[in-house]
Each structure stands twice: as C-alpha cells, then as structure tokens.
Amino acid sequence: MADALVINRSREFERQVLEHIDMLFAVAMRLTRNSADAEDLTQNTIVKALRFHDKFREGTYIKAWLLTILRNTFINEYRRKTRRPAEVELSGFESAPETAPDPEVFFEPRKGNQEDLLELVDDPVRKAIEALPDDFRNAVIMADLEDMSYKEIADIMQCPLGTVMSRLYRGRKLLREALEDYARERRMVPGTRD
C-alpha cells in the first residue's frame, strides 16, 4: 500500500513538472539565446527536478522551485564554460570533409529495424551506439534515429517520461565522450584545426 502511494505521488509530481516544460523552455531561450542550448538546459532542469523530487516540499510553489533549478543549472554551466579555454568559431567558409552517403546507392531502412538504421552511420558511431547499455541505446536510437517523441518512447519502453529523459541524457553523454576523438578528427567540434 505504501509503495502504491509513493508511485502515485511520483507520477503526480512528474505530471506537475511536465506542465511547466513550455515555460521552462521560454526562460531557457531568454538565458541562452540558442534553441539547442535552451533544449539542453530545459532537459537538464527536468531531469534534476525528477531526480531530486524527494527534496521538494509539499506546499512549495513548484514553478519557483523549477525556475531556481533552471537558473542554478544555467549559472553552473556558464561558470564551467568560462573556465574552459576560448573556442574559435569558424567563419563557415572552410571546407569540411565529405561525409554524405553515395547518392548513387539507394538504401531505405525497414521501419522499426534498428539494425538497418545503424547501417546509415559510420562504423565508429555504430560501435559507440552498440556499446551503450540496452536502455540507453534503445532510447537514443528511438529519439535520434527514429525521431520518436518522448511520449512514444515512454509507451514502448513502458516507463515514465522522466526515465526516458534521463536515459536519453545519459546515453547522449556517453556517446559524446566515446566519439570525442572521432568528432575532432572530422573537425565537427569548435576549435579543431587541420
């Protein structure tokens, strides 16, 4: 009985948090002035809120609590970036190595077949994806290769939205770490040179 109460309380908390996702994204856009950074900041905020929901006290104004998490996350990220060496932004006129598939070869992956989707990426990327733990790998493939919504992924994986977001965050982080050298070699990250 106590477990059911905890689960219901967690689901209700998750529902309350997700009600404010649009507001959090709007504030994140004002802070970052960049859609991709705003999405990351919003997702990090929601993941932290769900991870630390036991710190939330009943009667606290949830919107203010979420905004505090967002603001602190933004400030911590800003501080971390200022400690990094300066990055050089390329002008956009530099040539990049050709990575497009051969236009003469037609390949259409079968719907829902992850193996076919992985055929579309380079071998190092495929190996990095395959090395992820199953739950992280499935979430990343469904979100980033199959372009599914968080809700669709949650339904398929039979887990809460917060769990999906956490798996995506952690899976993408592991991929970034595993593919850092690969990205540098292909000049896909700022500050890389010939």
Query: What is the phi/psi pair of residue 29, to 5°?
Result: -65, -40
- Find out whether 51 and 64 touch, Cβ atoms under 8 Å: no
| pLDDT tens-digit map of 172-187 | 999 889 888 877 777 7
* Residue matched to tokens 């236009």: 103
Quote the pLDDT of residue 190: 62
CATH top class, domain 2-83: mainly alpha
Structural domain boundaries of the chain?
A: 2-83, 114-185
Question: CATH assignment of 114-185, given 1.10.287.110, 1.10.4160.10, 2.40.70.10, 1.10.10.10?
Answer: 1.10.10.10
Is residue 115 a contact partner of residue 137, using CB atoms and an 8 Å limit? no
User: Low-confidence residues of the chain, pLDDT below 70?
Assistant: 1-9, 81-121, 188-194
pLDDT score for 189 = 64
* Whole-angstrom distance, CA of residue 139 vs CA of residue 166: 10
**pLDDT for 107:** 43
Per-residue confidence (pLDDT) for residue 106, from 0 to 100 = 44
Question: 20: number of CA atoms within 13 Å, CB side?
Answer: 21
Give the whole-number percent of the chain exceeding pLDDT 70.
Answer: 70
Query: What is the rounded average pLDDT for all residues in the chain?
Result: 77
pLDDT at 91: 60
Token couple for 125:
């990327």
